[in-house]
Amino acid sequence: MNEQDKLMAYQEEMNNQNQQNNRRKEPIIQPTYQATENGTQEPLFMEMTDNHPLSHNEQAILRFLQESKPNLYHELYLTGELMTYLKQQETRMEQRKNQLYQELLQKQESQLPTDFMKRTQALNQIKWTVQEMIQAEFLMN
């Protein structure tokens, strides 16, 4: 067995150990049951606590979770933390957007035209660039 085979065997062993360590040992939720009139047991579901209308960014984050990270979506949904997570992510997006906008504005401040229409067009271009950067950063990870 040469050195490359030993290295590959070691890497495979480490990957197997990491996969075993990352697996969930306990269930996502501990279901509770309620007796019905006919004597059967039915599960009680958690109600979402922070139930508010979703903003545009929260809707985009929700779609991203459902399509790209279904396991995380289901875990958050089942534990009742989905709405809190969406609000936190939206807050992070807004903070990052403001930070990027200020950075790009400072870099291009001296290059902005003095004509009102051209200046507005340049500022809108910065805004659209920042929006694209935010979508790439938060919704394509």
Dump pLDDT digits (tens) for 71-90: 999 888 888 888 889 999 99
Residue 45 corresponds to which tokens in the numbers above? 């579901």
Helix count and strand count (H, E) for the chain: 5, 2
Average pLDDT rounded to a whole number, residues 38-59: 74
Helices 56-68 and 70-79: crossing angle in degrees, nearest 10, is: 120
pLDDT for the residue numbered 97: 93
CA distances from 106 to 60, 62, 127 (A): 29, 33, 13
Q: How confident is the model at residue 19 (pLDDT cuts 50, 70, 90)?
A: low
Q: Is the pTM of this model over 0.75?
A: no
More confident residue, 15 or 38: 38
Tell the burial category of 93 from Cβ atoms under 10 Å away from its Cβ (0-12, 13-18, 19+): buried
Q: What percent of the chain has pLDDT over 90?
A: 29
What would the two tokens of residue 47 be? 């109600």
Identity of residue 87: K
